[in-house]
């Protein structure tokens, strides 16, 4: 992502249709197992993962940990308990007095902060040790306050806090914060309604009459990837069938699936379908079933001999983490992704 004007997983270009193929359930399960085992093998002894060029350490740790949680393991039980516990320890150790989960030198740290709120809130829900549970609750409570303080005057978020980033904001980081805050609220951590209301207003202000969400409130063009992510965030906030979400749904149908899909096997593709899969899974029905079959076939066919999905931009840990989450949505273990 170095040298690009914005996060590579917030930009979308070329399109490709996914054919009406099918993947056997056993093939999907085997792909997931290989992917998760690959992630375990890539985990640093200190408990973290990194993206290409060592970037996004906090974000990759949270995403990889979430993929392991989606299998049904927790920090204390299951095949991946040791890795989940180690990732939890690492992220808790990065909780700062101001509430940030991460560190300022981690590239575009608000991504890591938002994804960490998702991961730790899911761990929190299954934690049985009272002292450990209290520690996670304290970290998440302060994390929510950091997000509130980092919100810009317009209601969005940027790659860093509003104070450090001169009040800059853009769509993809806004969505990451909204989903993280919603995950915390679902876990019982207090979240001000005002924060979510202002974020919703920001998303609406970024949305065109066609339903496409632009890069930022200042413009930057409609982005299918950010639109899919914004729609998932709106669903997280409980807004399923408003005039705004209907426009966004139509835009996604015209620009992602079933008519078209973004360039396959790129960071753009992984990011888009990570969020669009959440949207269609929540909708359910025949539309979800058709999409799921086609997407599963694509993912199973693209797994590499080493058990990972390749990504030339952000890195293989990123692609493997989000694809494993996609393939495990129907297991229903994580409240933030449940119907």
Average pLDDT on 258-263 reads 56
Percent of the chain predicted with pLDDT > 90:
85
pLDDT at residue 15, rounded to an integer? 30
Query: Phi, psi (5° rounding) for residue 15?
Result: -130, 155
Average pLDDT on 102-111 reads 94
Average pLDDT on 135-145 reads 98
Residue with tokens 């413009």: 219
Least confident segment among 140-154, 178-192, 227-241, 263-277 = 263-277
CA distance 308 to 256: 24
pLDDT at residue 238, rounded to an integer? 87
Set out the domains of the chain in order of their start, with CATH numbers: 8-337 (1.50.10.20)
Residue with tokens 């450090």: 164
Alpha helical stretches, state H, 165-238:
171-186, 193-206, 224-236
Q: Is the pLDDT of residue 3 over 70?
A: no
pLDDT at residue 107, rounded to an integer? 87
Look up residue 100 and give its two tokens.
């940030």
Average pLDDT of the chain to the nearest whole number: 91
CA distance 81 to 319: 22
The Cα-based distances of 129 to 13, 65, 119, 224 in angstroms read 47, 19, 17, 42
Residue 231 pLDDT level (bands cut at 50, 70, 90): very high
Q: Is the pLDDT of residue 30 over 80?
A: yes
Burial of 330 (0-12, 13-18, 19+ CB in 10 A): exposed
Residue 24 pLDDT level (bands cut at 50, 70, 90): confident
Give pTM, 2 decimals. 0.91
pLDDT at residue 228, rounded to an integer? 96
Say which DSSP state 266 is in.
Answer: S
């Amino acid at each position: 992502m170095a040298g690009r004007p914005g996060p590579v997983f917030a930009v979308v270009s070329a399109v490709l249709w996914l054919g009406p193929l099918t993947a056997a359930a056993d093939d999907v399960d085997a792909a997931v197992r290989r992917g998760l085992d690959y992630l375990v093998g890539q985990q640093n002894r200190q408990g973290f993962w990194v993206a290409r060029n060592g970037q996004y350490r906090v974000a990759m740790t949270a995403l990889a940990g979430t993929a392991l949680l989606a299998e049904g393991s927790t920090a204390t039980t299951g095949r991946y308990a040791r890795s989940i516990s180690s990732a939890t320890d690492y992220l808790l150790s990065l909780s700062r007095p101001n509430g940030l989960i991460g560190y300022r030198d981690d590239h575009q740290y608000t991504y890591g902060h938002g994804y960490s709120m998702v991961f730790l809130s899911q761990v929190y829900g299954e934690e049985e040790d009272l002292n450990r549970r209290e520690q996670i609750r304290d970290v998440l409570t302060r994390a929510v306050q950091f997000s509130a303080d980092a919100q810009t005057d317009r209601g969005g978020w940027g790659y860093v806090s509003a104070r450090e980033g001169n009040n800059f904001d853009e769509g993809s980081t806004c969505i990451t914060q909204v989903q993280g805050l919603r995950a915390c609220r679902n876990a019982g951590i207090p979240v001000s309604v005002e924060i979510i209301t202002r974020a919703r207003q920001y998303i609406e202000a970024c949305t065109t009459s066609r339903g496409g969400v632009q890069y930022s409130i200042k413009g930057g063009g409609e982005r299918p990837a950010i639109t899919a992510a914004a729609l998932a965030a709106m669903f997280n906030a409980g807004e399923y069938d408003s005039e705004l979400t209907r426009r966004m749904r139509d835009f996604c149908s015209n620009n992602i699936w079933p008519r078209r899909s973004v360039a396959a096997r790129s960071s753009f593709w992984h990011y888009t379908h990570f969020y669009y899969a959440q949207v269609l899974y929540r909708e359910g029905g025949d539309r979800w079933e058709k999409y799921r079959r086609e997407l599963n076939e694509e993912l199973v066919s693209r797994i590499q001999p080493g058990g990972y999905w390749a990504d030339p931009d952000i890195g293989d840990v990123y692609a493997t983490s989000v694809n494993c989450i996609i393939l495990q949505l129907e297991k229903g273990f994580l409240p933030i992704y449940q119907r």
